[in-house]
């Protein structure tokens, strides 16, 4: 069980400052030392906003994952960018992101870069809040890799990535990380049409050897591409199989779904701690502390305070920083007002 009732936490990402986004379009003009300084300044800003809000758990805001080379795909051998089907114009959707072809064995000889991110966060964050690291789950990570070559389908790609993610998590624990989130939103998005037993088996092998060594959490949202969901937004298909995930805390998107199926949090709360999305990252209505308190009281009907954490629905990277900042501040105020 979690150490603080109605703990306040976040999902990994935080909006980039405008200057960082501008700089990512001109990276070739910067030297490696400039980029390191830039990333560090951005993490300082993200940490500042989260600490000022008073959160119990913070992240580095994923300020490092700027471009292909610095994202997870940049750490993988055996892939090449593939823009054969990329759409360049029109309303935002995933087909604007591009994919990767697999051209060899999938390997990550330098890991996925999350340990270096965690080391930086440790160096820059003040004492107090728990420092959480986020790794992509192998199934979600496989989503932008086109099966081919050695790997016939998405599940074979997933199997190749699974030990890479597991190794990264072990390395994080060895670096002193006490809380790790595995982002597996593809599992929640596709639970309605895929074999959920298979998902759980993949998940449990991804976290093998970690039980008791760090607090393991997972983020299961219904997608957020430039503020748009992509999933079939129901918890029903995840039940009961997802209750067998070996995880200390499950995070579930609720605010943007107007707290639909709230009662389905009860079976989750019997199996694990539940972090509920009480802040809508896709809406520019700024929840007041009173809104947050009311939402928390609703959740308490199904999840006891000692099992309940609150968070935004998803990472805040697609929400303007002025709104992200105020939403987090109000979330913490609301949670503190309800805490027993």
Task: Return the number of the residue (61 or 185) whose C-beta is nearest Zn ion.
Answer: 185
Unique residue bearing structure tokens 């779904």? 257
Interface stretch with Zn ion, choices 189-197, 198-206, 218-226, 268-276 (CB under 5 A): 218-226
| Site size with Zn ion, rule: CB under 5 A | 3
How near is the Cβ of 251 to Zn ion at its closest, in Å?
8
How near is the Cβ of 219 to Zn ion at its closest, in Å?
6
CB atoms near residue 130 (< 10 Å): 19
What letters, b where the CB count within 10 A reaches 16 and e where it falls short, cover 174-198?
eeebebbbbbbbbbbbbbeebebee
Residue 80 bridge partners (DSSP): 101
Give the CA distances from residue 156 to residues 38, 99, 102, 136, 202, in Å, rounded to whole numbers and listed in that order. 37, 17, 12, 17, 11
How near is the Cβ of 12 to Zn ion at its closest, in Å?
9
Task: Return the number of the residue (185 or 334) whose C-beta is nearest Zn ion.
Answer: 185
Interface stretch with Zn ion, choices 37-45, 172-180, 219-227, 291-299 (CB under 5 A): 219-227
How near is the Cβ of 36 to Zn ion at its closest, in Å?
28
Contact pick of 221, 255, 293, 316 for Zn ion (by CB under 5 A) = 221
Task: Return the number of the residue (129 or 185) whose C-beta is nearest Zn ion.
Answer: 185
Instruction: Please tell me whether residue 258 adopts helix, strand or coil conformation.
Output: coil
How near is the Cβ of 315 to Zn ion at its closest, in Å?
6
Task: Return the number of the residue (79 or 314) whose C-beta is nearest Zn ion.
Answer: 314
**How far apart are alpha carbons 329 and 292 in whole angstroms?**
11
Contact status: 66 vs Zn ion (CB under 5 A): no
Site for Zn ion in 297-316 (CB under 5 A): 314
Task: Return the number of the residue (312 or 334) whose C-beta is nearest Zn ion.
Answer: 312
Question: What is the phi-psi region of residue 227: left when phi exceeds 0, alpha when psi lies from -120 to 50, beta otherwise?
Answer: left
How near is the Cβ of 140 to Zn ion at its closest, in Å?
10
Task: Return the number of the residue (6 or 311) whose C-beta is nearest Zn ion.
Answer: 311
Proportion of the chain in helix, strand, coil states, percent, rounded to 5: 45, 20, 40
Give the CA distances from residue 174 to residues 30, 64, 119, 154, 223, in Å, rounded to whole numbers and listed in that order. 32, 21, 11, 30, 31
Count how many residues are written for the chain: 340
The site map against Zn ion for 170-189 (x = CB under 5 A) is ---------------x----
**How far apart are alpha carbons 12 and 4 in whole angstroms?**
20
How near is the Cβ of 184 to Zn ion at its closest, in Å?
10
Q: Are the CB atoms for 111 and 74 separated by under 8 Å?
A: no
Task: Return the number of the residue (78 or 136) whose C-beta is nearest Zn ion.
Answer: 136
Q: What does the binding site for Zn ion look like in residue numbers (CB under 5 A)?
A: 185, 221, 314
């Amino acid at each position: 069980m979690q150490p603080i009732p109605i703990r306040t936490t976040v999902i990994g990402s935080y909006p980039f400052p405008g200057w960082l986004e501008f700089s990512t379009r001109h990276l070739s003009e910067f030297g490696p030392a400039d980029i390191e300084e830039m990333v560090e300044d951005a993490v300082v800003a993200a940490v500042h906003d989260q600490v000022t809000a008073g959160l119990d758990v913070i992240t580095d805001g994923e300020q490092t994952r700027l471009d292909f080379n610095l994202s997870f795909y940049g750490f993988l051998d055996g892939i090449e960018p593939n823009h054969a089907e990329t759409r360049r114009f029109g309303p935002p959707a995933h087909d604007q992101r591009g994919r990767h072809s697999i051209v060899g064995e999938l390997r990550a000889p330098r890991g996925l870069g999350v340990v270096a991110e965690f080391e930086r966060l440790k160096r820059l964050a003040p004492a107090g809040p728990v420092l959480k690291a986020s790794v992509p789950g192998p199934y979600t990570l496989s989503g932008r890799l086109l099966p081919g070559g050695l790997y016939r389908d998405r599940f074979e790609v997933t199997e190749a990535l699974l030990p890479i993610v597991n190794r990264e998590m072990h390395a994080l624990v060895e670096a002193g990380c006490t809380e790790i989130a595995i982002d597996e939103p593809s599992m929640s998005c596709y639970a309605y049409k895929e074999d959920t037993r298979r998902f759980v088996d993949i998940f449990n092998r991804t976290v093998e050897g970690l039980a008791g060594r760090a607090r393991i959490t997972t983020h299961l949202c219904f997608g957020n591409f430039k503020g748009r969901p992509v999933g079939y937004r129901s918890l029903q298909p995840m039940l009961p199989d997802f209750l067998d995930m070996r995880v200390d805390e499950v995070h579930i998107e609720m605010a943007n779904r107007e707290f639909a199926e709230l009662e389905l949090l009860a079976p989750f709360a019997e199996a694990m701690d539940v972090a509920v999305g009480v802040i809508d990252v896709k809406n520019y209505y700024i929840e007041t502390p009173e809104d947050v308190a009311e939402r928390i009281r609703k959740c308490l009907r199904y999840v006891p305070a000692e099992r309940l954490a609150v968070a935004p629905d998803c990472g805040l990277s697609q929400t303007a920083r002025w709104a992200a900042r105020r939403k987090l501040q109000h979330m913490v105020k609301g949670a503190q007002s309800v805490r027993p």
